[in-house]
Amino acid sequence: MRYLANSAFAAILVIAAPAVAVAQDAPQFMQDTFPQAAVEGAWQEFQAINDPDGALDAQTKELIALAVAAQVPCDYCVYYHTKAAEAHGANDAQIREALASAASVRKWSTVLNGAQYDRDAWQQQVDAIFAAE
């Protein structure tokens, strides 16, 4: 029951975070797992990154976070960021596409790094692709 209450609270945090971060306002999971002296700073950072007036909208941020969480991989983060993305209006197609995009990056990173492909040649090819646009 405690987990469900904390999960519900955490999902709301991204939608309506308080303006001033203080340690006692941090979600319980932060207070239970992070060094007490650092909770307030971690909570401030979390709120700053998730500022609704930031350069990226909340849905985009959550889809990025979900894609990264899937690659880490972190079951806690995948659960949280799926719920948060949905809370910000992401639908199943957007979630699947974000995950497929992350998988594609991981695949090509593995191929290029594993093959030790010439970085200068690769950069020239990428520059040529985008110069054509």
Q: Where are the alpha helices (DSSP H) in 16-118?
A: 28-33, 36-49, 58-71, 75-87, 92-115
Q: Give me the pLDDT at residue 133, please.
A: 76
Task: Convert the pLDDT of each residue in 19-67 to its tens digit.
Answer: 567 889 999 999 999 999 999 999 999 999 999 899 999 999 999 999 9
H or E stretch covering 5: helix 2-15
User: What pTM does this model have?
Assistant: 0.79
Q: Is the pLDDT of residue 72 over 70?
A: yes
**Which CATH number is 56-133 given?**
1.20.1290
List the chain domain ranges. Answer: 1-54, 56-133
